[in-house]
Amino acid sequence: MAMLFLHPPPSQCRSLSPSVFNTVSGDIPSSRLSLKTSAAGNLVSRFRSKSLSLVFSGALALGLSLSGVGLAEAKVGVNKPELLPKEFTSVIDVAGFLSNGQEKRIAKEISDLEKDTGFKLRVLAQNYPETPGLAIKDFWQVDDSTIVFVADPTFGNILNFNVGATVDLDIPRSFWSRLAGKYGNMFYWKEKGEDASIEAAVMAISSCLREPVGPNNCAEIK
């Protein structure tokens, strides 16, 4: 299972698009191009493997560089299964950001989205280090079709995403950084509230995942 964790502060984020690795200037021998392509593939593979371990050890990775250059230091991993609800739910709010009505609306939207598209969106609202951490992986049976949305204001931008490999094939990676920039920035959630950021992000993700796959899908944050 290959997954990509994204925590894109608007001031730092860059999309990890194929053009980052495939830009060629001048006449370069094909052998050198092959070496570059191979190195880029290895870099992405190592990046995904490392980011996966970070997100589930603490349910939050700090400031991942989307350029693939490196990772910021992460907080110590957390594993608190006692913070999990006794029954399955797609929305876990250990921080108390959402009202009961909001949780129900979000859970209904997530359920409809899964029925319509097959993608599984899961929402965890937390204040690090008060988080189930590693325990969410088995609780939600996270796989390649799962998006884990971690809402945590501890480090400024409240929107963090762990994107399954199947989702990553259909959704432009720039979508997640643009989404965080619009609804996750500190000015937005401090003015509107953490709950408003979470609800807006869920609806934008739902709208994006319902769009036909193509060169212009998810071009707008709705």
* Architecture of the domain made up of 3-12+30-210: Roll (3.10)
Phi, psi of 16 (to 5 degrees): -90, 75
CA 217 to chain CA centroid, Å, is 18
- The residues that bridge with 149 in the sheet, in sequence order, are 123, 161
Cα–Cα distances (Å) from 153 to 50, 99, 140, 183, 216, in that order, read: 23, 17, 22, 12, 31
Domain boundaries, the chain: 3-12+30-210
pLDDT digits (tens, 9 = 90+) for 147-187: 999 999 998 999 999 999 999 999 999 999 999 999 999 99
Q: What is the pLDDT of residue 16?
A: 29
Sites in the chain below the pLDDT cut of 70: 1-76
Q: Against a cut of 0.75, is the pTM above it?
A: no
Q: What is the pLDDT of residue 175?
A: 96
Q: What is the pLDDT of residue 12?
A: 34
